[in-house]
Amino acid sequence: MSGRYVVGRAADIPDGGRVLVEVGGRQVGVFNVGGSFYGLINRCPHKGAEMCKGNVVAGLTSPRPGEFDYDEDTALLMCPWHGWEFDVRTGRSWFDPRTRLRTYDVEVTGADQVDGVPHAGRVPGPYTAETVEVGVEDEYVVVDLRKARKAAKTGEGR
């Protein structure tokens, strides 16, 4: 078995759209984000929900009360069970629901970055969703399970 599967025509998955397919005995969500295709195994690394059936939302941050910044270049997949957000492009989680409401001293500093990329106030969560390589060949979307990346905890000491 080659591990490569044609899952449909690229033109049949509109920008912002997705398809769920069964390939190699695994269910994969294939997402079209701005004309680029990304694949995620349809299983939340937190509790096993069918994650690819969740809503895809843009980033929303608030620099101060009453002001909102809408980042339509961000594509976050929300787990339908607990609302965890995963970046469709990388599988990285952006929230840990085990977070407790506590008070802390606050100070204003420069823009924070994660791996050299501004994260607009998001804090990386402890999990990474399992991603698969997706490409377009001769106008057909191809999923390559040979390069699947295992879901892993990204938090230290958790």
Q: What integer pLDDT is reported at residue 14 of this predicted model?
A: 92
Q: Collapsing DSSP states into helix, strand and coil, what is residue 104? A: coil
Locus of tokens 């997705």: 18
Is the pLDDT at 124 greater than 70, yes or no?
A: yes
pLDDT tens digit string along 25-42? 888 889 888 888 888 889
The confidence band for 133, taking pLDDT boundaries of 50, 70 and 90, is confident
- Give this prediction's pTM: 0.65
pLDDT tens digit string along 51-82? 899 999 888 877 888 888 888 888 889 889 98
| Of residues 18, 12, 76, 81, the one with CA closest to residue 46 | 81
